[in-house]
Amino acid sequence: MAIALSNREMEVAELLAWGAAKKEVADKLHVSERTIENQARSIYSKLGIQKVSELCVWYFTSRFHISLLLSPVKQKFTAMLLLAIFCIGELHNDFTFSRVRETRIERPRTRCIRKGTFFIEN
C-alpha cells in the first residue's frame, strides 16, 4: 500500500531519516521548529509509526525499493551497499549526515572588585 505524503512531508521525512534534528530541519527549510514537529507528527500518523528509527526503515525501504522480506544474504548485501552509499556521501558532500557534538570552549574567569564607583579586573 502506497502512503501519500505531501512534497514538504517527504522533504522533512528525508532529512529526519538521514539523522537531522528537528531544529536543523527547521533551519534548513526556513520554517519554525513547531512546524516541523507538527509535520513529523502528521508523517508518523500517516505511516502508523512512533519512532524516528521506524521512519528511517520506511524511508530507505521505500526510497530504494528494498523489500523487508529478504534472505539473510540479500539483507547483508543491501546493508553493505547502503553503508557504501552513506560513506561516499560523507566524503563527497557538504551536507553532513551525522551530527558531531562540538566541544565547549573554556574561557578564563575574571574577578571584579568594586572600589569606589569603578570596577577593577584582577
| 61-95 pLDDT per residue, tens | 888 887 777 678 887 888 889 888 888 877 776 65
Look up residue 71 and give its three cell numbers: 534472505
Confidence (pLDDT) at 114: 57
List Cβ neighbours of 57 (8 Å cut-off, separation of 6 or more): 68
pLDDT at position 2 over 90: no
Which DSSP state fits 105?
Answer: P
| Domains of the chain listed by start with CATH number | 7-105 (1.10.10.10)
Q: Which of 3-7, 23-27, 32-36 has the lowest mean pLDDT?
A: 3-7
Cell matching residue 47: 505511516
